[in-house]
Chains A and B, each alone.
Chain A
Amino acid sequence: MEPVGTLHPSLLSQKDLLWHISWDKQKCALCGHCTAVCPVRAIELGVHRKREIPITLGLSEKPKNVYGVYHGIRQITDPAHACIGCGMCSLVCPNSAIYPVRNEETDKLKFHINAGGEPRRRGGRRNDSASVLDRIKFVRISMLTDPALDAGRHEFELRTLLGRILPPEEAVKPSSQTGWIPPVREIYPLIIGGMSFGALSPNMWEGLQMGVAYLNEELGMPVRMCTGEGGCPPRLLRSRFIKFVILQIASGYFGWDEIIHALPEMKEDPCAIEIKYGQGAKPGDGGLLMWHKVNKLIAAIRGVPPRVSLPSPPTHQTKYSIEESVAKMIQSMYMAWGFRVPVYPKISATTTSLAVLNNLARNPYAAALAIDGEDGGTGAAYNVSMNHMGHPIASNIRDAYLNLVKIGKQNEIPIFAGGGIGKNGNLAANAAALIMLGASGIQVGKYMMQAAAGCVGSEGDRCNICNIGLCPKGITSQDPRIYRRLDPEHVAQRVVDVYSSFDSELKKILAPLGRSTSLPIGMSDAIGIDDYHTAERLKIKHVV
């Protein structure tokens, strides 16, 4: 066997990578677009030496040995430049000569993305496309006594409430006896979940905001969007559009200096304040904006120096316990807006969710509870947190709802579900299933990136480089050369498309169930699943 010299342990072949590049020499125009667009420089111009042996007929001439070269593409196998499968090369190729192909066996790359002892960090979701929500079916079709409702003709009121709702006995007292009445927002049940200005590019954020404003002001859909932890652009804070926005505060308090300073000049109250205690994608871990993305603008809004990584601490460091958080933080946030704005915590789904929920139930200020499941997306997190930490959303929401039923407070504290909803494209079905399990509303982030901006990330570990500012679609990049690929107007248009189609699909689910007057929160008799144990666990029908 021929000696090949010393092989570095992390020297990988194309076969060892998760994605290999398939390139067709016959079709390639050698235009160079693919190498220029590749966000991780996984491909480069290759000058390939090739030996040819022309053989002529007959015996008069002997076969020759000709060395030639041809030009084309070479895939770099260095783990730092491993192809991420984004497919941008394919997108820009004029001749469809190139595309990434997924390795059919487990790649060896994952053993080596820890150079320098730094574990892999990435964006995206847990790399698992399985979904319990996708398997839930709507089985209680009104057939017996009803004229079926018509999704296209009948009136539907698909609204939910965000805010602490008084028990009826309190709510109906004359105003003189009720004292302070907690603020409650009547909103659309599909919320754009917390994705920060910083995690998202300015164009993406602007597109989402424009879409939300259009939905509210032109289509009458009270859609709300959460800022995530990254503050809010000063002009937005001082505009009328802030009422469509849920401001998030998290353990890094990024952006809150700007928000506090804007308080006296705010024309409208924000929709709500979300206190992030946890995130489904990386439970127990704080937010993370890697230095690549902290440019001057982001640094200014967040009140930090540019080009430093911004890890939020896992915990709110001024707080000792969840009880204290509830007691102090919720109330101080209420105080900032004169008790006119609902304040609620968001936690990552966990077996201890019920302890938090019970605590909130006892606090008259807690406006809601948002629970983010393990399939939630993130702009940056450790791969191990994303893939292995966290609790599935379905059973956590169900437990939380049934716990509220047990104490008779199912209408007092709305529960919002997030985390992987629509991860296989079935947004309306997943949302309806969670609502029927007991959620008052749904938060989606990654789905919006995929549907409204063309994010190519997937649970097959495709792309998922949101963390390093090189998003090939310009969604999570802070480099103007990249994010100008994304036109905010187009994003806004897509947001409107997504909401309009979601609305139609939700009606198509609810109409056959005979529901149109109110959101079917907790209508668990309408759903079933084909697995006995899952049905038992969720206390829904087992249907085969």
Chain B
Amino acid sequence: MCRLFAITSEDPISPMAAIRALNAMKEGHDGSGVGLFMTDLGGDLEPFKGSPILSGIFSQEGIKKLDRYMMELGLLTKFKFSIRPSKEPPAGTPKRDVYLIRVYEYPYDWDGLSEAEIKERLMKIRIDLRNLGEEDGSMMVFSFWPDVIMIKEVGDPMEIAEYLGLDRKGLQARIIMAQGRQNTNYAITLYACHPFFLQGMSTMTNGENTAFDPIREYLSSRGFPGYTGYQSDSEVFTHILHYTANGLGLGLDAYKHIITPLKDEEIKQHPDEAFLRRLKHSCRFLTIDGPNCVIGCLPDKTLFMVQDSKKLRPGIVGGKPGVFAFSSEMCGLEEAIPDRMKDFEIQPMKYDVAYVDASREEVKRWNQWERCTHLY
């Protein structure tokens, strides 16, 4: 089963903190892969907050293709932070040419575009690049977004981290999400490796989403080009979050109500009965059927955790003012923040949303029985 770990810290920290936490939870995962999502970046990338960063894996040929494509669009490289491993990869990990982390400068003709239009274009470029890469396997693109880095690879998380030198000084972030296994229920491909990313939102999940197929069909038929991929049943969690926020203009509370709605009898007793019933009915095809623990990050740098409607997976949130972690197992949290305020830990149950916003002062808890307050 996938092990999940996310941390949000006032001070930028190395992704190794998350890798070590995954390592502490190693008993439960097979060490078959690692996925990293970093945002609210520090270190060498701190000065480039507003510029889009492309993350992916490229062959030399892929780099050439990328350069041609970006040149045509007028996107110029502003800063390169790519990783070119010189050592032999660990057993089971393919030899890659470049783990690309490259900051771009918006073209002049994008000046004056609305924020929505820019977001649309950034997403489209990522999808185009992904499609281009799929033609010959020369590139895999995980994100193209300001203040976001993603790294994914097959192999043991700790070995991969050492191999890629993730402890390098300039690589730091205030929010890191890490997942420690390759997808095993569908074909092995890095596009099936969590966390998943779409327009500033990212989630990772453990367990199996048994309602995957109808949800995938539903999202695919929304007519939104970003709802694509689906090499993993977990990708839909990110896209449902995106649909909730961008498609419906609703918050994290509605996300929880959409993926795990209250039962019909429960809704009858809820103060928002009419709204929740309409939401449940109209989003029936987005109801997940766990077991799943979902950890995600919103564009406003809020980290959250929710559980399936039966709470069939563990999950814990804890820390101390300034630094909080979300972990699929307690030992991961223990490894990351041993001196945390243990009395304030939360293990979110089936109705809960546990979240830590960008102020990083406390773990907040919202419950489905409360009124919808438009969280996020």
Segment among B153-161, B172-180, B283-291 that sits at the interface with chain A: B283-291
Which residues on A sit within 8 Å (CB–CB) of B283? Answer: 168, 411
B188-227 Cβ-contact flags toward A at 8 Å (1 or 0)? 0000000000000000001110111110011001110000
Query: Are the C-beta atoms of A408 and B184 separated by less than 8 Å?
Result: no
**Does B250 reach chain A (CB closer than 8 Å)?**
yes
A154 within 8 A of B: yes
Question: Is A477 interfacial (CB 8 A cutoff)?
Answer: no
- Check A411/B207 contact, CB under 8 A, given A159-B264, A169-B248, A517-B289: no
Cβ of A324 < 8 Å from any Cβ of B? no
Contact residues of B: prevailing secondary structure: loop
Q: Is the CB of A408 within 8 A of B221?
A: yes
Residues in chain B near residue A140, CB distance under 8 A: 210
Report the minimum CB–CB distance from B98 to chain A (whole Å). 33
Bound-complex Cα distance A523 to B221 (A): 15
Number of residue pairs A-B, CB distance < 8 angstroms: 121
Contacts of A518 in B (CB 8 A): 211, 284, 287, 289
B359 within 8 A of A: no
Say if the beta carbon of A406 comes within 8 Å of chain B: yes
B260 contacts partner chain A, Cβ-Cβ < 8 Å: yes
B1: interface (CB < 8 Å): yes
The reply to whether B282 and A411 form a contact with Cβ atoms under 8 Å apart is yes
Cβ–Cβ contact A145 & B278, under 8 A: no
Q: Does B344 contact A (CB under 8 A)?
A: no
Q: Does A161 contact B (CB under 8 A)?
A: yes
The digit string for A145-169, where 1 denotes a CB below 8 A from any CB of B, is 1110000001101010100011111
List chain B residues, Cβ under 8 A from A411. 218, 282-285
Do A171 and B185 touch across chains, with their CB atoms under 8 A apart?
no
Among the listed A171, A184, A408, A526, which residue makes an inter-chain contact with B223, where contact means beta carbons less than 8 Å apart?
A408
Q: Which of A68-76, A274-282, A307-315, A508-516 contacts B (4 or more CB under 8 A)?
A: A508-516
Q: Check: B310 CB closer than 8 A to any chain A CB.
A: yes
> Across the interface, which residues of A come within 8 angstroms of B308, CB to CB?
517
Residue B113 at the A interface, CB < 8 A? no
Which residue, B207, B210, B222, B291, has most C-beta atoms of chain A within 10 A? Answer: B210
Hey, which chain B residues are within 8 Å of A170, CB to CB?
Answer: 282
Please indicate the chain B residues that have their CB under 8 angstroms from the CB of A142 in the complex. 208, 210
B250 CB to nearest chain A CB (Å): 6
Can you name the residue of chain A whose Cβ is closest to the Cβ of B258? A168
Q: Does B275 count as interface, using CB distance less than 8 angstroms?
A: yes
Please give, as numbers and ranges, the residues of chain B lying within 8 Å of A186 by CB-CB distance: 264
B263 touches A157 (CB 8 A): yes
Q: Complex Cα distance A72/B178, Å?
A: 87
Residues of the B chain whose Cβ atoms lie less than 8 Å from the Cβ of A525: 212-213
Complex CA gap A106/B189 in Å reads: 59
Indicate if A144 sits at the interface (CB-CB under 8 A): yes
In chain A, what residue has the closest Cβ to B275? A172
B222, B248, B281: which has the most chain A beta carbons within 10 Å?
A: B281
Least CB distance from A9 to B in Å reads: 59
Whether A146 pairs with B279 at a CB distance below 8 angstroms is no
Q: Which of B254, B282, B312 has the most CB of A within 10 A?
A: B282
Contact of A523 among B211, B288, B290 (CB under 8 A): B211
Q: Does A407 contact B (CB under 8 A)?
A: yes
Given A147-B312, A520-B214, the answer on whether A171 and B221 have CB atoms closer than 8 Å is no
When C-beta atoms are compared, the residue in chain A nearest to B282 turns out to be: A171
Q: Which of A147, A165, A172 contacts B250 (CB 8 A)?
A: A172
B210's contact among A154, A161, A167, A513, by CB below 8 Å, is which? Answer: A513
The verdict on A31 contacting chain B, using a C-beta distance below 8 Å, is no
Whether the Cβ atoms of A408 and B278 lie closer than 8 Å is no
B51 CB, nearest partner CB in chain A, Å: 32
Contacts of A517 on B, CB cut-off 8 Å? 211, 260, 287-290, 308-310
Measured between C-beta atoms, what is the minimum distance from B31 to chain A in Å?
16
A478: chain B residues at CB < 8 Å are: none
- Tell me which residues across on chain B come within 8 A of A300, comparing CB atoms: none
For residue A86, give the distance in angstroms from its CB to the closest CB of chain B.
Answer: 43
Report the nearest B residue to A521, measured CB to CB.
Answer: B214
Q: Is there a chain B Cβ closer than 8 Å to A524's Cβ?
A: yes
Residue of B nearest to A171 (CB): B282
- Give chain A residues whose Cβ lies under 8 Å from the Cβ of B214: 410, 520-523
CA distance A181 to B277 in the complex (A): 12
CB pair A168 B211 closer than 8 Å = no
> CA A140 – CA B186 in complex, angstroms?
12
Q: Using a CB–CB distance below 8 Å, which chain A residues touch chain B?
A: 140, 142, 144-147, 154-155, 157, 159, 161, 165-172, 175, 181, 184, 186, 405-408, 410-411, 513-518, 520-526
28 A-B contacts (beta carbon < 8 Å): A145-B184, A146-B207, A146-B210, A146-B291, A154-B310, A166-B281, A166-B282, A170-B282, A172-B250, A172-B275, A181-B278, A406-B221, A408-B222, A411-B283, A411-B284, A514-B210, A514-B289, A514-B290, A514-B291, A515-B289, A516-B310, A517-B289, A517-B309, A518-B211, A518-B289, A520-B214, A520-B289, A525-B212
Known A145-B184, A517-B211; further 10 A-B contacts with Cβ < 8 A: A145-B206, A147-B312, A154-B310, A159-B264, A165-B284, A168-B247, A172-B282, A405-B221, A514-B208, A524-B213
